[in-house]
Chain A
């Protein structure tokens, strides 16, 4: 009797689980999003103000102070800056995911790894909101969008995989070793400079270029540029490496999470 009850429960579970997970993720993302701007006067505008202020500073620096001689620099900068912001905002807060959402993690039947996905998606929303600015910049600079823009979701998917994987590592292990949140801050700060966000990989000496292939964010930003700035298909071989790296990180992140989550419950 007990066994049949269990079986019935399993099938019911399988039927509703999918749509339920979807509802759960969607609502958590929406909540994060609402919370981000609740109580602030400018609200949603803040999501745009940060990248716009970065734009002003960088355009001034690399046109007037240290000219980089990149045509349509605002477009060039923005196509790299927005995905970088998505990455750095996600990773910066990923370490504290389980700690700040302690009451969610400790809820029965709640799968904590969902938080990593929700976190990546919430920051993706911010990215998507600023994306129209890129299109406006492209239009005003006289450049043209090509069909390659349809490849954008693919690149985003790869980047999302990377972010979720890293977030799982950071969120799990930061529960035990709180240094991680400080380390990620430092590493992100340095990584910004070894990722061609505000400069072009053409500015880098040839002998170092292959090193950049190992940095998945560098490859991904190159891909975004190819799509939005050059209107060409991104370099497939480096992109495949980045995809493999992202999927591996995501897989390892999940394994680490699986292995240590029971410890997280005991520790939190």
Chain B
């Protein structure tokens, strides 16, 4: 198989200069004092990274913030040079890094599109030939001649994505941006990526969305502190990723004074550093009553109360519904509580309302977790601790299994000649 990209023992060191002169005055003063200005701290963002990307394969990179993923992608794109080792590639590189970089707010969508295309390596004529397709893809036919500053952020990203993806690179580098636009547009983007793969091209993607990694990658690199911790199929890589998360949490927990979890554990388990502690979890039904059972298809509000220590200024929250076989029925997350509530109170309750929960009758676990916003470890995660009975008021649908409540209606229509 052809190799399109090869990284050989790539390392990158950044100097974080403590006393680095940031102006000539300081440089001058340091010169007078006869002190070297090179009292720099070294930070190895990447250490001895080696991997290959083969034609037609797609490789995902997962790892926590600061693991070196973005640095690696930037080096591959030629932004900066490895301190040691080398990166080689064959073919035209396309990148979805810095989406919309080079766009100007005062220029119209069309002007930006053409500029973006030329920056992406096409000639003006080629971009003009493609522009209709790009505008259609971005669904901006009506507004394309308006200045970009009048666009909503979704429209901006749609245009940027459509512009970036319509070139014809041999491999595509993606950094976390499949979360563009509404679900219909996302589907279009994913379809586009899929057809890109079918055409035998390669992908290198960084994502925090493990489901996307599972769906799109043949192979996954797990990075931690600038190293490749493991390389393997998506399932085992995702497991390794969770292991790192658990280890980090435990390390962090060991360093901290232990805050006793104030919620008695009757079943299930919880873990986390308890910098934020979930002090209560309640289920509320459609009639505003606290309950542990609801009827299928009716609304449910999950309320949790937390207490935070002052080290925490923002957090992310997940809420998942799992059945007794631990199959995920549904999971949602809020990536920043602060973004919805403003300043984070010391004690507060968070509510998540699910207007309807069409689950088959049975026993379900509601798993709740609080995380730092970079998802690098766990504050408090309740796994299998809170259960909810889903009942059925009407007749139980017969001969149905799974998790979603549907009411099948069977009919047979004969096609025999009468």
Residues of A within 8 A of B (CB): 1-2, 5-6, 9, 16, 19-20, 23-24, 26-28, 31, 34-35, 38-39, 103-104, 106-110, 177-180, 183, 262, 265-266
A35 touches B104 (CB 8 A): yes
Say whether A24 contacts B118, CB under 8 Å.
Answer: yes
Known contacts A5-B90, A26-B124, A27-B118; 7 further A-B pairs (Cβ under 8 A): A9-B90, A27-B114, A31-B104, A109-B121, A179-B24, A262-B80, A265-B74
CA distance A255 to B25 in the complex (A): 25
Report whether A34 and B80 are in contact in the complex, using a CB–CB cutoff of 8 Å.
no
B183 within 8 A of A: no
Say yes or no: A178 contacts B98, CB within 8 Å: no
Task: Select which of B77, B95, B101, B121 is within 8 A of A20 by beta carbon.
Answer: B121
B3 touches A2 (CB 8 A): yes
Q: How far is the CA of A103 from the CA of B115 in the complex (A)?
A: 13
Task: Check B98–A107 contact: CB distance below 8 A.
Answer: yes
CA separation between A108 and B101, bound complex, in Å? 10
- The answer for the CA separation of A107 and B120 in the assembled complex, in Å, is 9
* Contact (Cβ within 8 A) B106 A35: yes
Bound-state CA distance A23–B117 (Å) is 11
- Asked whether B22 lies within 8 Å of A34 as measured between CB atoms, the reply is no
Closest 10 CB pairs of A and B: A108-B77, A103-B101, A265-B80, A179-B24, A23-B124, A5-B90, A262-B81, A265-B79, A179-B23, A108-B95
Among B352-370, those with CB < 8 Å from A are: none
> How many B residues are at the interface, by size bracket?
35 or more
- Which B residues lie within 8 Å of A39 (CB)? 106
* Contact among B14, B22, B118, B120 with A178 in the assembled complex (CB-CB below 8 Å): B22
- The yes or no answer to B123 lying at the interface (CB within 8 A) is yes
Q: How far is the CA of A6 from the CA of B4 in the complex (A)?
A: 10
Tell me if B119 is interfacial: C-beta within 8 Å of chain A.
yes
**Interface status of B93 (Cβ within 8 A of chain A):** yes
Residue among A16, A31, A107, A265 with most chain B CB within 10 A? A107
Is B118 within 8 A of A103, CB to CB? no
Q: Secondary structure at chain A's binding surface: helix, strand, loop or mixed?
A: helix
Q: How far is the CB of B29 from chain A (nearest CB, A)?
A: 13
State whether A31 and B107 are in contact (beta carbons under 8 Å apart), knowing that A16-B123, A23-B124, A109-B93 are contacts in the complex: yes
Which residues of chain B are within 8 angstroms of A266 by Cβ–Cβ distance? 14, 80
Closest B residue to A265 using CB positions: B80
- Chain B 1-13 interface mask (CB, 8 Å, partner A; 1/0): 0110000000000
B106, A20: Cβ atoms closer than 8 Å = no
Smallest Cβ distance from A182 to chain B, in angstroms? 9
Name the one of A5, A109, A179, A180 contacting B78, with C-beta atoms under 8 angstroms: A109
A262, B13: Cα distance in complex, Å: 12
Write the chain B residue with the least CB distance to A6: B90
Assembly CA distance A135 to B78 (angstroms): 48
In chain B, positions 90-112 with a C-beta closer than 8 Å to chain A are 90-93, 95, 97-98, 101-104, 106-107, 111
Q: Are A103 and B102 in contact (CB under 8 A)?
A: yes
Task: Give the CA-CA distance A20 to B167 in the complex, in Å.
Answer: 14
State whether B79 touches A19 (Cβ < 8 A): no
- In the complex the two chains form, is B123's CB within 8 Å of A177's CB? no
Measured CA separation A117–B121 after assembly (Å):
18
A262: B residues at CB distance < 8 A = 80-81
Q: Which of B24, B115, B122 contacts A31 (CB 8 A)?
A: B115
Q: Which of B14, B80, B92 has the most CB of A within 10 A?
A: B80
B27 within 8 A of A: yes
* Assembled-state Cα–Cα distance A26/B127 (Å): 15
Q: How far apart are the CA atoms of A23 and B98 in the complex, in Å?
A: 22
CB closest chain-B residue, reference A177? B24
Least CB distance from A241 to B in Å reads 30
Q: Which residues of B contact A27 (CB under 8 A)?
A: 114-115, 118, 124
Complex: A106 Cα to B73 Cα, angstroms: 12
Contacts of A109 in B (CB 8 A): 77-78, 93, 120-121
Choose from B23, B98, B124 the contact partner of A103 (Cβ within 8 Å). B98
Q: Across the interface, which residues of B come within 8 angstroms of A31, CB to CB? A: 104, 107, 111, 115
B77 contact set on A, CB distance < 8 A: 108-109
In the bound complex, how far is the Cα of B124 from the Cα of A39, in angstroms? 26
State in angstroms the CA–CA spacing of A103 and B22 once bound together.
22
Is the pair B79, A106 in contact by a Cβ cutoff of 8 Å?
A: yes
